[in-house]
Structure 1
Amino acid sequence: MTGHRGRRRDRSHRRGGRGENRSPAAAKYRSPQRHPSAGKGRERRSASRRSSVSHSSSRNERRRRLAVAGAAWLLAAILTVLGGIGIGTLAVRYADFFQRVASPSAPPPRSYRPARRLDPDGSYMDSPGFIKNKGADAEPVETCDSDVCLWEGRNLYEKFNESVNPCNDFYGYVCGSSNWYRDGQRIDARPYRIHSPGQLMYDLAELQRRLYRLRGDRYRQQPTLFTNQARRNSLESHYSVVVITTNMLVYRNCTQKEKNDSVWLTMKKIFFENLLQGWPFKKDPKMLRISDTAMVLDKYIGLFAFVRVSLRKDLEDDDYEVHLEAPELMLKRHQLVYPYESVADYAKRVERLLSIFTNASMVKAAEDIVQLEQRLLMIKEPRRFLPYDNRTATIKELQRRNAWHWLTYLNFLLEDAGVQFHRQSSVVLLDREYVTRLSFQLSKFSGKTLLNYLGYAMIVKFSPLLPSDVDFVVPLSHDNYLETVPELLQACVHMLEDLCPYLVRKMARMTLGRENATTPQWHYDEEMHKLIYLVRESMKQTVQRAPWLSQAEVDAASQKIEKLRVDFLAARESEEQVNAYYPQYVSPFPADDTLLGYYKLLNETMSFYWITNASYDLDARYQASSLVAGEVEYIAEKNLIFIPHGLIAFASNISQTFDPLFVPIIVPAILRAMFAAVDLRGSTVTFQNQVVDWWSNASRSKFASKLQCFQDQYVAEAQAVLALDIDEDFFLEENVADNAVMHPLHDVYRKAMHLSRHTSREARVPGLESFTMDKLFFMNYAMAHCDRISPNLARRRVLYKDGVPAKLRVNVPLKNYPKFAEVFKCQHNAPMNPENRCELW
């Protein structure tokens, strides 16, 4: 990110030592008189020289690239013979790409449509919606040959949907091609949403292979979760806190397709221990309350089928408090993973799973489970901001029905921590509507249905460890499903994060050390520190333009951004601190029964979790998953940003630095978190972390009028694009933040480009010479949001209150940002260049 601006290579030695300035700028002022010797031959020689420098600045580099291209074609031929047409075709595509990079004068490949000659500003499109520049043809441009530029060219090569006009639908142009999802592509050729967390999953699996090679003998001697005993050498001490179980769970056991059928006996024992003996139930069993069974499952295995309970410390000086919110349901996961299957298809999956355990018909039982989930989804609201002083409720306020006894439930969860709840005790409600109505909704269903649902949820949770009979529900065992990533791999890594989220963060750091897998790595921390400096400065400058704030409030907002703390990747604790959190010799992991081993370990780690306190909180400190791309956690009351590994994992195989081309991919999430510090969500906490309302009533009124424009705009867009009516405040905070970050994001990009030693603003990416760096900024921004190509999926993200579809998240902020229309030369009143815009700054 830092350094001096890269200079163009000096080519004066190719001009016979004259050192003549042949730049376009100099040509403008050069005398029209020519030397007699400078005739048509010189013109032809000059044209020849100019055409030879579009891909490389040196002959040695040209020879090296030709060698690479030759090797690629040879490999393509071999793979075609050995692997068949499918693999051969993929290999030919990559060989074709390398050939173009190595020899730009070669004929273009069949599937590549060469761009028209560029205008000086990089404009080339003259289809409807574009204004063609009438100026002279562009001079040849320098090609960027850094690792990041080569990745950029490979990543975007042949990925655009050229049947879509970018001035009509920019998201459709960048993300609408099925080439993003071609079979056989490497993970780094997928959209960022898949590439980044998918890369981390593959890296974690590779880390397990390395560690098991180093410590396989140690595991066989002592197959425990943590090994805190004295180490015999310094090398071993670096990773003694790493979960030995992960070598067996993620790499050796969980990801194995063949499982021992004896685990069904273990599953029956687990049902018995958790008050579900005889599951699935055909008639109502004798029971007290459903919360009496749910509290056992929630405490010891973190099932959270009806309500999600977490321990969080909102204010820096506070204790950890109970937070309640709606859980993620399997019905919702199914509808997002399988956008072309109906709810009836989901009911068949539930019936199929229940039927594994009984010969009786489970059709009615499955239908009842689906109806229960549908009822729970009805009372779940989209994410909305709740002020700090409006989040709490007493147990007495929640206790409306006997179906769910909150007092008994919470006291059981926290009994080991010495916490005693009473009717006037308060808890934090992150989803007030859902939590307050839960008891009433559960009272409408029979005990048989509620217990069958608990057992079903437990089978789905453990499905990656069960025989292949239940593989059809493995994708429903976790959130954030990634198509094209092996289902078992991602499910097992999510199980590992459920087991011990802190150690996943610790191991994620270790994956950055390609040559040394035994120590956490820190080189990206310095890169992020430099990037955060640029982001912070750009955001402070942008806030100065906030029209709804007074000058005093602008100064307060700037102070808050300046004082904002950033925890990048976390997992900085020493070995001694980690060993103090995870006790010595946790339960042995039986090599012949993965399910039993995982179950016991989960019991242990959940026991650690419920006794969390300020000095003992590694697994409770943050809520953001390391396995999700494009998300950053902002804790308003602490004025703190946590940047998880999933945001930057894609970069580890590309570059050791954060190149400017990465800015529109990773910085939007950081800026959205910073904006949360100074918008309505951060207006009740000062930079000193005091709960004080620092906005005036006038500022709130002005900001509300700004919000109204965005509310109306997103309602209209949802109706036009999805034919759906949405509430005006549907994910309103996120929608406004998407628009708010465009100006500072573009500013950070230009500053980073100016400081970069490897990527200049005038350079072009190999294979994408038609696009200026300004255009690539918007393309990478859109690529970072690319979702699966499915109209059903976009509608379901709204119907199941998962979020605003990616198409709206890209197109609406860009059509509100005038620079986009300038760069792509969109005609006035084109869809992406409307006359009326919603502006924040």
Structure 2
Amino acid sequence: MRLEALMVIVVATGVRGSSPGIIRDRERPDFEDDGEIEIQDVCQTDTCAAEAQSILSMMDRSADPCNNFFRYACGGWINRYDPIPEGRGSFDQFDEVERRTTAILTELLGEPINQQDRDAIKKVKAYYRSCIDERLLDEADLSGLWSWIENVTGGMILFGDGRDDLDLETFLAKSKIRKVDIWGRISSPIINLGVHADDKNVDVHKITIDQPSLAMSPKPFYLLEQFASARAAYKNLLEDLLLLHALWTYRDTIMKQNTFNGHRIKEMANEILHLESDLAEIISPNSERQSYSDMYDKMTLGDAAQKLSSQFDWYKYIQKVFMKVNTTLTTETEIISYSSKYFSALPEVLERYNASVIQTYVVMYNILDNMNLLPKRYRDLTSDYRKITAGSTEESPRADVCISLAEKGMPRPLGALYVNNAFSEDSKEEVIEIQKQVMSALKEKIMEVTWADNVTKLGLQKMLAGVTAHIGYPDNINDDSLDDEFRELKIAGANFFETQFHLYDIELRRMLHKIGEPVDREEWFAAATEANAYYHHQENRMIIPAGILHAPFFNPNLPMSMKFGGIGTVIGWMLNSLIESTGKRPNWWTPASIDELQKIKSCFATLYDSFHHEKAGMNLDGIANLMSNMNDNGTLRHAFHAYVEWAKNNNDELVLPGLEDLDPKKLLFIANTQVWCEVENDVAARNRIAKGYTPKLFRAHGPIRNFEEFGKVFQCTQGSDNLFPDTSDTCVSF
């Protein structure tokens, strides 16, 4: 799961407290402390002064930390990014780190291609230049796009009456030339097919099928009245894209007759929206997809007709997909379904629609998902839709788009270019040491929990010991295999669309070839340049790329307390994800432990259900993002306890000038919350909650109000201050 994507206290609009620069004066409650941390002399170097100023500039020390810690830790940062940068409905610390990394990569990719560059580096530079050149994009025709459409549809006329003899299995298989995501899934408007490690036998790859993501993504967009404006904007966008295709398909007829009837276009856009709404009805929301073990449904291709639906030929469809790599499957080939309920209902939904509607929907879905490959005059068609769904009509800067595409399609060469020129090996080594400290703290806390029995505790300990941690970049980032990986890629300099679809094809074939192969635990599924972190639950491994090892997540010049509060939090989040293994290790997840854990989950779900986001005018969905919310809570505790243990054995903590009144524990909490600094407009806030995500405000406030140490450290009044409630009003897992 992605940390950023997966990761109510109603915050008062006013602040109370003492003057700026001073935590309000309160008598310290009589709490038992786990040991004071020795403070050293203040660092007086220019570097220390600069880092101190950077931290202070992010804060608003006039805010009351006990009632609005988000404002206290992030107020200065929020003011800096208000108004929100162009092309965005929200902007957070991940975006800021990405912006810095993008600036570095833009410079590196813009350097001349020379003979000393290895082949993969030459190709990623050429790829970037083809993408970034707006003039070439605008001059390019769309023949490649229309050729792809004709190939996928078999030359059928999309706006005619359609054909009743549509070979749905072949059509869906042919349309699967879209990009593969980092989890090894071929995203699709009808079926998500992929090749993954088997959840219950993680040493081997299996074919997986799952419900799709829809064009507007969150299910509520199609079903709730509050999103009617989004549906109207989406329908208008469909009409514009359909008109483009119609003008191409019927260009000879239009030129001869000098007329065109657009009534069918409006009808088709309306039918597509109805089809998607019907699909949304049978798609399970995130709140029903919290347990992988509950969703896991293994079967043979021969049994799929009986277990899923006899109206769709699963063997034919999947065999057609794998024909691309000349792999022959049998009826005994095993597949794993994670949405059997959806697939059982799917044929009945599709039977309601003419073949041309299904075809056109698939084509429009793929075009929408690849708009950033097209000339600006076509991308501009999405401006009204962006305004409604993201709160901004502006596109993201082209450099951001191109580097994002390179990260997804050419992660190794892009990562090699970055690591070899802009990354310090010392940072990697220090983060590895912090990771060991956090793992040690979690190991200790597992044995202290009262809700799990010894069998479960020992199982969790074993799983924790088996975590594989990839930090910084893959060990083989500069191996000869780097050039081999992209030897087939041809850069069509004047036609970026053609280049990108060739890259999609390479990605797809690479994924399909994994079927039946052993899982490579050393393979990275993320780019070293990404400002993100991932935990792969099937393979019990985490990836923390070099791209996220920047402030506020990690800065070698900061005190250790802030390093634990920043990157220590990220590491703890990954490790805490092992709790998601519930049900996949039946030998040690005992029924008694699972029952107790369910009570804890209910506590967190109820608590987060009560959180109200004023800007969005909505409460959070406590179930939809339950495991991510629990991870946020657990990781703060792990980072805190890991730092306390580190401090017991080290007396060289750094003290920055101007921060002398903020002891190390306070700085840890500040660093933890500064990871979540964010600005967002009301549209982005509503959409995020509708998608089941937790806004950053509550990713900060939820964990600290559940952690009694925060109230102690900031001398809050328990039971009175928002962020220091009575213990009975808190939720704790680890």
Shift of 1:344: 1.9
What SS does the corresponding residue of 1:641 show, helix, strand or coil? strand
Shift of 1:209: 1.8
TM-score with structure 2 setting the length: 0.78
Does residue 153 of the first structure (1) align with residue 53 of the second (2)? Answer: yes
| Alignment-derived partner of residue 406 in structure 2 | 496
Task: List per-residue Cα deviations over 1:324-365 (Å, max 9, x = no partner).
Answer: 2333333138999x9997332232233233333335253333
Q: Distance in 1 between matches of 2:518 and 2:125?
A: 26
> CA 1:756–1:354 in structure 2 vs 1: closer, same or farther (change >3 Å)?
farther
| Alignment-derived partner of residue 255 in structure 2 | none
Aligned mate of 1:608, from 510, 516, 520: 510
Structure 1: gaps of 5 or more residues: 1-112, 134-138, 219-234, 686-691
Task: List per-residue Cα deviations over 1:484-527 (Å, max 9, x = no partner).
Answer: 99442333233334434xxx145224313437xxxx97444322
What SS does the corresponding residue of 1:157 show, helix, strand or coil? helix
Does residue 125 of the first structure (1) align with residue 27 of the second (2)? Answer: no
Shift of 1:816: 0.8
| Alignment-derived partner of residue 68 in structure 1 | none
Q: Which moved more, 1:614-623 or 1:695-704?
A: 614-623
Shift of 1:536: 1.2
Shift of 1:727: 6.3
| Alignment-derived partner of residue 305 in structure 2 | 396
What SS does the corresponding residue of 1:331 show, helix, strand or coil? coil
Q: Distance in 2 between matches of 1:462 and 1:491?
A: 11
> CA 1:259–1:703 in structure 2 vs 1: closer, same or farther (change >3 Å)?
closer
| Alignment-derived partner of residue 321 in structure 1 | 206
Task: List per-residue Cα deviations over 1:249-298 (Å, max 9, x = no partner).
Answer: 32343453652433222222222222264775354356514442221121
> CA 1:604–1:743 in structure 2 vs 1: closer, same or farther (change >3 Å)?
closer
1:214-613 correspondence to structure 2 within 5 Å? 214-215=113-114, 236=117, 239-242=118-121, 244-256=122-134, 259-275=137-153, 277=155, 281=159, 283-285=161-163, 288-299=166-177, 304-314=188-198, 318-332=203-217, 342-357=230-245, 358=247, 360-361=262-263, 362-378=265-281, 379-382=283-286, 383-387=289-293, 390-394=296-300, 395-397=304-306, 399-400=308-309, 402=311, 404-417=312-325, 419-421=327-329, 425-472=333-380, 486-500=396-410, 504-514=411-421, 522-573=425-476, 578=481, 582=485, 584=487, 586-612=488-514
Q: Which amino acid aligns with 1:355?
A: L
| Alignment-derived partner of residue 257 in structure 2 | none
Q: Distance in 2 between matches of 1:380 and 1:639?
A: 26
> CA 1:268–1:537 in structure 2 vs 1: closer, same or farther (change >3 Å)?
same
Shift of 1:726: 6.7
Shift of 1:812: 1.8
Shift of 1:321: 0.8
Task: List per-residue Cα deviations over 1:621-641 (Å, max 9, x = no partner).
Answer: 5555667645321334x4322
Q: Distance in 2 between matches of 1:375 and 1:627?
A: 39
Q: Which amino acid aligns with 2:145?
A: M
Shift of 1:322: 1.2
Conserved in 1, the CA contact under 8 Å of 2:235 and 2:273? Answer: yes
> CA 1:279–1:581 in structure 2 vs 1: closer, same or farther (change >3 Å)?
farther
| Alignment-derived partner of residue 725 in structure 2 | 834
> CA 1:323–1:199 in structure 2 vs 1: closer, same or farther (change >3 Å)?
farther
Q: Distance in 1 between matches of 2:681 and 2:314?
A: 41
Q: Distance in 2 between matches of 1:522 and 1:773?
A: 26
Shift of 1:202: 3.2
Does residue 193 of the first structure (1) align with residue 78 of the second (2)? Answer: no
Conserved in 2, the CA contact under 8 Å of 1:146 and 1:759? Answer: no
Q: Distance in 2 between matches of 1:805 and 1:576?
A: 40
> CA 1:668–1:184 in structure 2 vs 1: closer, same or farther (change >3 Å)?
closer
> CA 1:675–1:346 in structure 2 vs 1: closer, same or farther (change >3 Å)?
same
1:632-643 correspondence to structure 2 within 5 Å? 632-636=534-538, 638-643=539-544
| Alignment-derived partner of residue 639 in structure 2 | 745
> CA 1:814–1:269 in structure 2 vs 1: closer, same or farther (change >3 Å)?
same
> CA 1:795–1:582 in structure 2 vs 1: closer, same or farther (change >3 Å)?
same
Q: Distance in 2 between matches of 1:701 and 1:393?
A: 28
Q: Which amino acid aligns with 1:366?
A: A
Q: Which amino acid aligns with 2:197?
A: K
Q: Distance in 2 between matches of 1:446 and 1:156?
A: 62
Task: List per-residue Cα deviations over 1:452-482 (Å, max 9, x = no partner).
Answer: 22222232333223211122367999xx999
Shift of 1:207: 2.4
Q: Distance in 1 between matches of 2:85 and 2:614?
A: 34
Conserved in 1, the CA contact under 8 Å of 2:124 and 2:413? Answer: no
Conserved in 2, the CA contact under 8 Å of 1:609 and 1:617? Answer: no
Structure 2: gaps of 5 or more residues: 1-15, 30-38, 180-185, 248-259
Greater gyration radius:
1
Conserved in 2, the CA contact under 8 Å of 1:289 and 1:405? Answer: no
> CA 1:300–1:724 in structure 2 vs 1: closer, same or farther (change >3 Å)?
closer
Q: Which amino acid aligns with 1:596?
A: E
What SS does the corresponding residue of 2:490 show, helix, strand or coil? coil
Shift of 1:819: 1.4
> CA 1:339–1:371 in structure 2 vs 1: closer, same or farther (change >3 Å)?
closer
Task: List per-residue Cα deviations over 1:4-41 (Å, max 9, x = no partner).
Answer: xxxxxxxxxxxxxxxxxxxxxxxxxxxxxxxxxxxxxx
Conserved in 2, the CA contact under 8 Å of 1:322 and 1:428? Answer: yes
Shift of 1:445: 3.1
